[in-house]
Amino acid sequence: METIKATVMNVIQGLTAKKEEGVQQADVWILLKKALAKKELRHIKFNYFKKGVLGIRVDSSVWLYSLNLKKERLLVLLNNNPGIQVKSIRFNIGEIR
């Protein structure tokens, strides 16, 4: 069951999604969900997409390292979709809930 705090944060994030160069943040997040395994998705949270930089929060240094190894593959996968221009991906350790 989702906590009230998490629900409010999800609603606020959904309402404040801004367009970045014709692409919504949600579109980038959907593509990222398709590119990663369910196990990996449990350890990350979309943080921001600003000026072509995708920020992703991870819950531990182990997952930070693991996802950094996949960074180039993720960039290629994201940029192969029309209308999406991701210059880089930045992973930061933080709370994902």
Q: Is the pLDDT of residue 16 over 60?
A: no
Residue 56: domain span:
19-93
Give the domain CATH number at 72.
3.30.300.180
Which pLDDT value is given to residue 97?
77
Contact (CB, 8 A) for 85 and 79? yes
| pTM of the complete model | 0.71
Which pLDDT value is given to residue 88?
94
Higher pLDDT, 74 or 13: 74
Q: For residue range 36-89, list pLDDT tens digits in order.
A: 999 999 999 988 888 889 999 999 999 999 999 999 999 999 888 887 888 999
Residues near 45 by beta carbon (within 8 Å), at least 6 away in sequence:
56, 57, 94, 96
Total number of domains constituting the chain: 1
Is residue 7 included in any domain, yes or no?
no
What mean pLDDT comes out for the span 3-31? 69
